[in-house]
Every structure is written in structure tokens, then in C-alpha cells.
Chains A and B, each alone.
Chain A
Amino acid sequence: MSEGPRTVAIDSFGLTDIGKVRELNEDQFVVATLRKSVRLRHTSLPDAGLVSRLAGAESHLFVVADGVGGRPGGELASTSAVSSLLEYLDHAVVAYHELDTDQEQNLLASLEESVQRAHDKILADYGSATKGPATTLTMVTLSWPRAYLVHVGDSRAYYLRKGRLRQLTRDQTTGEYMVDLGAWTEEQAARAKVGANLTSAVGGQEMTPIVGLIDLEPGDVLLLCTDGLTKHVGDPQIAAVLGGSGDAEAMGRELVRQALELGGSDNVTVIVVKLGG
């Protein structure tokens, strides 16, 4: 997929904090590595390196989920969704470095299917789509250099490249929807009480996963976060932290520290992924 290096060092770190106001942390996160299991016992292959390359192939899974406030059981929804994803992806995702078109279409369909299954499981376990628990979900599967993204709700994914921060996701909120339609201005959306309401959530009345991908480059930094970060810490501050010289853990801790210092009004969760460069 890329003429760049076949692998890079990946430094990743996830952290969640209850914040300063909430009594319960309804966020969840996962940082995981998926490996092909190939153990070479005996071979007549002249290129034994092939097997070692296969055995070394790995993908990385990063997920953040934020149980929807205002509904009972937000923590149940985020826990159930992330657990369901892990169970499904364990079977569905194999670590590939080179996918042909069909394999890639199938992988994308599997990732989307995993979110649909999580949605169905919440509805089956807890009932009502209108009053039952629901959650946001932002998931990146990284099979270097390609990062596959599936997103529902208003948690976010960003990447920083050469000092420029770009948001990979768009919030699925009433405010965004009305602005898109031209019915509201940005200011009206920001002021409206219902502006922050989700138009799509796992376990919710509507669930519309957004699927995308991007080829990353050495030196890029990826961030997944819940809105407990972005309510308080703006894009310039995020860019400054991700553009710093620390490791992924130092960056993650600094972002959470800033969110707490600036109010900590919500649970805050971050995953930082530094791609060696």
C-alpha cells in the first residue's frame, strides 16, 4: 500500500479519568495488538525469512467509547460495546501488511459489522433504543501504514503531521446536522440546548457508522479522545502537546491534566499513538 517503510516503531498509551464533576466514569478504552500466530517448526523453504515476517506482522486496535449521559447505564453501554468489538474482531481481523482489494473491502465490512453487532448486543441486553443505554465509539485499526477508522457519535480521532492537526472524524450531533442542512448557523448550534445531542449512537435510536481510512507516515501522531477532552482543550493546545518531544504516555497524561485543570466537567479519555519517524 505504501512505498514507505514496511514497519515503524509504534508507541501507544491510553488513559481515562473520571473528571472533577461526574460520580461515575462511563468512558472505556482499549489499546491492543493483534498478531498472526505463525510458529516455524521445520521448513524446506529457502526463504525462512518469509515465515518470520508473517509471524511478525501485526495490527493495532485503538478504541474509545463514551457512555451517553442523560440515559441510565452509560457505563454498561460503553463496556458492552467495547467488549463486543473485541470478541468479534478477535475472529475477524487478521494482521496483514498487504491486502488485495477484495480482502480490504472485506476487512472494512468486518469493522463496520463489528460496530453493528455491538449495537445489536446493547439493544438485546438492555432493550429500548430510545431510553436504554447508548455509547459513542471511535475505533482505529492500524495495519501499517493504513489506519482504518469506524466512528459513531462525538468522540474524536485526530492526527498531527508536520505540526498540522487534522480531525479525522466529524461529530454526529444535532448541531452539526442542522448546520450542514443550512438550518442553523454555527453560533445557533453552539447555543442550542439540543445542539450537543447525538444523532447517532451505538445502542441509540439511530446508529450510522462512518467508515474511513488514511495512510499514515513516520512522525505522525494519532489521537483518539472522548469529548471530556475537547470540551476544555482546544485544537491549538492539542497540537502543541502532540507536537512536543515526549513519549505517548507523557502526551496522554498532559492532555488529561489540561482537561482537568480547565474544568474536568466530564469523564476524559485519550489514546495517543506515536509513529516512529
Chain B
Amino acid sequence: MIQKKVCMVGVFGTGKTSLVQQFVHSLFSVKYHSTVGVKIDRKAVEVDGTAVTLVLWDLAGRDASQDIPLSYMRGAHALLFVADGTRRETFDQLDDLQQLARSAAGEVPSMVALNKADLTDQWILGQGDEAALAARGHLLKTSAKTGAGVEAAFAWLAREALRAGGSGA
């Protein structure tokens, strides 16, 4: 079985855990729990007839007291950066987080999920921000609450990880 390690990276509270929970268990928790260390889930998907197990590393988010250890991202086959459309700082730190992740994982497929798409009336990001993000790489709006965009995000990562790494793990 081909396995691909996918790291979820972002500032705390952007919904990384909720995206994984929605993708793997089709559940949404209304209570916020900050992740400690790394929580690991698996989900088998199929990419153009090839079975792939995504091993999802849900990394504790960056906050004022802790950065994301590089050691967690080493060996990742793909990266999912998560920002929260209602919080400017989660968007502003994306550049820095992407550089940090690249220093650990190298040039692997990555995308940005602009999460909390169910709260667009509270978003503070303008169309210019979204256009700037989209110009730099793959971007999807997601909602861990409704499930919008979630399957599509992980399907894209699985396909690109497989394409980048061939059939090997």
C-alpha cells in the first residue's frame, strides 16, 4: 500500500484538526481543543485507480509560546497550510510558515486552505488577498463545519503527492 505523509500546518485555531476530523470521520466538533504535539489519522483514498493511504499529521498550531518543530515536517510528501478567513494574522503568517515548512520538507506539493468558508460574512480578507494567495499556488476555500471543499482539498494533495513521488511511498 502506498502511504503519503501529509502535514497540516498553520497558526493555532485555524481549523486544522476540524478539517481532518471532517475528512476522516465526517464529524464537526463545536468545542475547540488545541492540539498538543501531533495527532495522526489515516484515510485510504483512490487516485485514478491507485489506492493511497494518506497519513495525516495534524500539527499543533503556531502560537506566541511555541513554533512548529521542523522535525515533525521532515519526510512529508505534501503540506496543507490552513488559514482562517476571519483572522488576519493567520493569513499574514503564511509566507513565514511556508518557508519554515520548505526548509524541513523540501519542495513538496502544497496548497492553502482558506478555512471557515461558512463564516464568509465575518471574513476580513479582501479579494486582493485571495488573488495574491491564488497567484502563488493552489488555493481552496474550505469549511470544516459544512464539509465544503474538504474532500477536494485532500484529493488534490493525494494526487499531487502521488504524481511527485511516483508509486513509491
Q: Which residues of A contact B (CB under 8 A)?
A: 1-2, 100-102, 104-105, 108, 146, 149, 166-168, 170, 179-182, 210-215
On whether the beta carbons of A211 and B75 are closer than 8 Å, the reply is: no
With an 8 A cutoff between CB atoms, is B136 at the interface? no
Q: A104-B75, A105-B5, A211-B41 are in contact. List 4 more A-B contacts (CB 8 A).
A: A1-B74, A108-B40, A212-B39, A214-B38
Q: Which of B3, B36, B72 contacts A105 (CB 8 A)?
A: B3
On whether the beta carbons of B40 and A100 are closer than 8 Å, the reply is: no
Q: CB-CB < 8 A to A180: which residues of B?
A: 29-31
Contact A167/B36 with A182-B30, A182-B31 known, Cβ cut-off 8 Å? yes
Q: CB-CB < 8 A to B5: which residues of A?
A: 101, 105
State the Cβ distance, B165 to closest chain A Cβ, in Å: 11
With an 8 A cutoff between CB atoms, is B169 at the interface? yes
Question: How many of chain B's residues touch chain A, expressed as a range?
Answer: 20 to 34
State the Cβ distance, B13 to closest chain A Cβ, in Å: 16
State the Cβ distance, A147 to closest chain B Cβ, in Å: 8
State the Cβ distance, A90 to closest chain B Cβ, in Å: 23
CA distance A181 to B30 in the complex (A): 6
**Residues of chain B from 35 to 77 with CB closer than 8 A to chain A in the complex:** 36-41, 55, 69, 71-72, 74-77
Specify which of A1, A102, A212 lies most central, judged by the most chain B CB atoms within 10 Å of its CB.
Answer: A212
**How many residue pairs bridge A and B at CB < 8 Å?**
54
State the Cβ distance, B75 to closest chain A Cβ, in Å: 3
CA distance A215 to B69 in the complex (A): 8
On whether the beta carbons of A100 and B36 are closer than 8 Å, the reply is: no
Q: Which of B40, B69, B71, B74 contacts A211 (CB 8 A)?
A: B40
On whether the beta carbons of B71 and A214 are closer than 8 Å, the reply is: no
Q: CB-CB < 8 A to B169: which residues of A?
A: 101-102, 105
Q: CB-CB < 8 A to B74: which residues of A?
A: 1, 101
Q: CB-CB < 8 A to A181: which residues of B?
A: 29-30
State the Cβ distance, B103 to closest chain A Cβ, in Å: 13
State the Cβ distance, B6 to closest chain A Cβ, in Å: 12
CA distance A215 to B72 in the complex (A): 8
Q: CB-CB < 8 A to B30: which residues of A?
A: 180-182
On whether the beta carbons of A214 and B3 are closer than 8 Å, the reply is: no
On whether the beta carbons of B75 and A100 are closer than 8 Å, the reply is: yes
Contact A211/B37 with A1-B71, A102-B3, A182-B30 known, Cβ cut-off 8 Å? no
- 8 pairs of A and B residues whose beta carbons are closest in the complex: A214-B37, A101-B75, A182-B30, A180-B29, A211-B40, A1-B71, A212-B39, A166-B36
On whether the beta carbons of A2 and B75 are closer than 8 Å, the reply is: no
